[in-house]
Each structure stands twice: as structure tokens, then as C-alpha cells.
Amino acid sequence: MSSPTEFRRYDYYALLAFAFTAVASIAFQNLIWVSIALFLFLRLTRPGKINWPSNLFAAATILFLATFIIGALLGVNPSKSFETVHKYLTFLVIFPLGAMALSLLDVRKLLHFFIAGAWVCAVYGIGKHFLLNQDRIDSFSGDKMVFGGMLMASLLIVTFLLKSSPKNPWLWLSLAVIGTALIFTGTRGAWVGALAGSFFLMRGLSKRYLWGGVLILICLFFLLPSQYQDRIKSITDIHYSYTINMMDKADNGKIANASQPRLLIWASGLKMIRDFPLGVGQGNVEDVYPRYRIPTNDSEPTVPHLHDNFLQIAAQNGWLGFAVYLFWIFAFYHDALRFKPSGPEADQWNWMFLSVFTAIWVWGLTEYTFSHQFMNIQFFLLGLQTNLWLQKPQTN
């Protein structure tokens, strides 16, 4: 494949700008659409066929997007749903990115720009922690949980880049800064996601470092300040209490309280899913939630989402959306694991993207990762992986 840098393709420069600013600002993230528009213009004004992705994952992505539209149409307030449901067109980013003629060298440069932008945001966030006494940092993003997910993905990418450049001081510094900022976000779901993704990455790329990494993490735990040790320990603090009403037998056995508010949100979400099998529609969960809120959950009188991808998609897109979401995950692993690489380097890149997807999947057990700001990054990375899948394997 020809490299876009060989003939000054301006859509690639816009993509570099997106990669550098992606973690910092949702406004600057619109540069990805500039890149896509330029790509389509340049390709449509030149001879040749665009090599669109046409694998199982691409088809599953279209189906998954369709369930957001269907959920919005059948939900409790379609007019409100369609105020925001267009944001999910970001899913389509995988098609033009997958069709771009990007070499592994181009992808590496893109991800170096991405890491540099994440490094700037991490430094800014750490500064807010020490200078402004911000307990859980959010950097420029305004949301500590989304920032944690961005740093989680960045940490895995820089870890992968270190494998091929182990003597690069910039990458080691980035690893330390981004890792520190991730801790300071206090985002436990992103911590667990980073751990799962790192295990997956090391298991596939360098098994000899796997147990060394585990040992480092154990030692790191004891070096952390007590507040972060306590927050890590709280991940396993999961228990419910139930009602016992001697006067009203029908009220017995209902969840009355839980060790963490998020557990009560999930219990409320399950009741919502039971009553709305077709889904409430995008943007309507926060309006419907108060009907199902467990009274003892005073800290969360309403919520914009259910802090779990599976519950949120089932609640807003219905059971059909939930089933297609499971199919979408299956299609990704099906295509990623059956990928026939053009060489060992391409195989390693595929495994890195697979590890990032796994980390996001795990993080999604305690967070709704399809927020607009993070979704742009996720489908940017999925687009790059789809581009990799379209490269022809070597023949013997």
C-alpha cells in the first residue's frame, strides 16, 4: 500500500491533528470529519475504486448503529432522542479510515501523535491535582471517568510502542506520566480495564514479561497513597441488603440498599429493561430512571446513563439492541482472531488493537463508554484496525 505521506495527502495531516487533540477536546475531535471529507473528495476526484471494509465486523457495526435509530423511533420521547442520536454516526468512521491507504509507518506516527496529546493532557491533569488540589483529575475533558478511559487506552498503546522501542526515553516518560494521571482520575473501571488489557497485551506479545508485570503491579499497590489503596480495595466491596416488611409481604425481598450507589443504579436499570422491552430511546434514561430509583439511593436521584454498556444499551435500544451489541462484540473477536497478517509486525499491531478493545469492553462493565467524546477515539482506533485487516497477507 502506498503511504499518504508520499504524496502529501492533506486528509492525513488532519488525521494527525485529530490524534494530537483527541484526548483534550471534543471540539477539536471534529478534525476527524475534516480528514474524512478530504479523503472522500480526493478519492472521488481521482480514478480508482475505494476499498471499503466488508467483513463481518463492518456489517455488525451497521446493524448496531441501526438499533440506536430503532430505539429512538420506538422510545418514550423520539423528539428528544433525535436531538443526540445523530452522534452515533461516529460508528461509520471505521469505513473511511479502513479504506485509507495507511501503512504501518503511518499508523505508528498517528499513535505517536495520540500519545503526545495524551501526555500533554496528563501533565495538565497532574498539575491540577497538585496545584489546584483536584482530588480526581479531569484535565481538559471535564469528565474524570471519560478522561480515565482515554488514559487507559493511551497507556496500552504506549506500552505496545515500547516493545519495539525499549530504549526510547520519551516513551518511558509517557508511560510514567500517563500511568500517574490514570491513577489520579480515581476511575476504578478504567483501572480494571487497563489491567485486563495489559494482561491480554503481554499474553499475546511477550509472555516472559507477563509475570514481571504482575509483580510490578503488586509492588505499585503498596507504594500508592492510602486513599488510592482504599479505592482499589473498594472494587471488591459488593453486597446488597433486602427489605423485610412484616406488614406487607409483597414488599419483601426487594433491594433496599447496597455497598455502592452504582449497584443500586444497576438494580433500577434492570427493572427499567423489564418494563421497556423495545427500549426507552437514546437520551431518555435520565427521564425514566426516577420512576425506578431505589429510595435509599439519595446520592443518585437521576442519572444520564446506567454506568454499564450492557444495561444501558438494553435500556435505550431494547432487547434487539442488546442482542446486536453481543453480536457486534462477537464479530469483532471473530475478525480480529481470524486475521491473516501480512507479517509479524502486522500481527502484533492487530493484537495491540485487540487488547485495547478488550480493555474498553471490561471498562464498559462499570461505565457507558459510548459517550460522544470517547466514542470518537474508539472508532478511530477500530478504523485503524480495520485498515490493517484490509492489507493483503503475504504469500509464500
pLDDT > 90 in the chain, percent:
61
pLDDT at 171 over 60: yes
pLDDT band at 48 (very low <50, low <70, confident <90, very high): confident
Strand boundaries in 278-389, DSSP class E: none
pLDDT at 267: 87
Mean pLDDT score, 137-157: 91
The residue assigned the cell 505521506 is 5
Residues 6+ apart with CB under 8 A from 294: 255, 256, 257, 264, 267, 268
Residues 279 and 75: their CA atoms lie apart, in Å, by 6
Q: In this structure, are residues 338 and 354 in contact, taking their beta carbons and an 8 Å threshold?
A: no
Residue 308 burial by Cβ neighbours in a 10 Å radius (0-12, 13-18, 19+) = buried
CA dist 300 and 289 (Å) reads 10
> And the C-alpha cell for 127?
498539575
Contact, 188 vs 363, CB < 8 A? no
CB 305 within 8 A of CB 283: no
The pLDDT, as a whole number, for residue 262 is 79
Least confident of 252-261, 291-300, 343-352: 252-261
Reported confidence tier of residue 240, pLDDT bands at 50, 70, 90: low
pLDDT > 90? residue 117: yes
Over residues 274-288, the pLDDT tens digits come to 999 999 999 999 999
94-108, 132-146, 165-179: range with lowest mean pLDDT:
132-146
Question: Is 9 a residue whose pLDDT tops 90?
Answer: no
For the segment 185-211, the average pLDDT, to the nearest whole number, is 84
pLDDT value at residue 107: 95
Domain segments of the chain as ranges = 4-235+307-390
Rounded Cα distance between 306 and 284, Å, is: 11
Neighbours of 352 (CB within 10 A): 24
Helices 372-390 and 104-131, axial angle in degrees (round to 10)? 160
Q: Note the pLDDT of residue 5.
A: 45
**pTM for the full model?**
0.90
State yes or no: pLDDT of 250 exceeds 90.
no
Cell numbers describing residue 67:
438499533
Q: Are 268 and 300 in contact (CB under 8 A)?
A: no
Cell of 236: 471488591
**Which whole number is the average pLDDT over 188-212?**
82
Q: Which residue has the cell 501533565?
A: 123
- pLDDT attached to residue 158: 94
Contact of 68 with 317, CB cutoff 8 Å? yes
| CA 350/CA 274 separation, integer angstroms | 38
DSSP string, 290-308: HHH--TT-TT-S--SS-S-
Contacts of 226 (CB under 8 A, 6+ apart): none
Residues 321-350: tens digit of each pLDDT:
999 999 999 999 999 999 988 788 899 999
